[in-house]
Amino acid sequence: VAEPRWLDEREARIWHAWLAMNRDLQVAMDKQLAEFGLSAAEYAVLVPLSERPDRTLRAGELSRVLGWGRSRLSHQLRRMEGRGLVHRCDLETDGRATMVRITDKACELLAAAAPGHVEAVRRYLIDVVTPAEARAILGLAERVQLAVRSGVPGCAEGG
């Protein structure tokens, strides 16, 4: 294997700025939700449910929307059912499926937390980016995700 191309000072600065920015942003968003007694995972689960007319989704659908594995969602729903945030019941049409419904209590909690959440998104990101940076984010996101999905770094075939 050839000598790896280590990061130069500017490249390292970009990488570390990136990591620090995301770490801080995530911590801040978590804290904001915590003021309403909600975790980021709970909020993520509740939002798609609340947007349904019947406040209900199949577990598999929810898993797909969130981009979570079934196992992860199942564990999360168990804890949330214990906290009275969601309710699970069987689907008559298909004995394998599980229906998930957001409770009234969780709906109220979500309605209370959502304005502050959006406010935080604005304060920490949207109000802070210049139009040029916003364009950079949108363009970069596409290319990063393309690189991530196409490239397995363990087997560097071309480089």
Which chain residues interact with a copy of itself by CB under 8 A? Answer: 1, 4-7, 10-11, 13-15, 17-18, 20-25, 27-28, 32, 35, 67, 114-116, 118-130, 132-134, 136-145, 147-149, 151, 153-154, 156, 159
Q: Which partner, DNA, a copy of itself, none, binds residue 157 by CB below 5 to 8 Å per kind?
A: none
Amino acid identity at 92: E
Dihedral sign of CA atoms 117, 52, 142, 153 in order: positive
63 binds DNA (CB under 7 A): yes
Return d(Cα 115, Cα 108) in angstroms, integer.
12
- Does the footprint of DNA cover residue 42 (CB under 7 A)? yes
Which of 25, 92, 85, 8 is closest to 58 using CA atoms? Answer: 92
CA atoms within 13 A on the CB side of 135: 3
Residue 88 contact, options DNA, a copy of itself, none, Cβ 5-8 Å cut-off depending on partner type: DNA
* Burial (0-12, 13-18, 19+ Cβ within 10 Å), 73: buried
Stretch that binds DNA, among 2-10, 14-22, 86-94, 132-140 (CB under 7 A): 86-94
Contacts of 129 by beta carbon, 8 Å cutoff, 6+ apart: 137
Under the binding rule (CB under 7 A), the answer on residue 98 touching DNA is yes
Q: How far is the CB of 79 from a copy of itself (least distance, A)?
A: 21
| 75 touches DNA (CB under 7 A) | yes
Contact call for residue 77 and DNA (CB under 7 A): yes
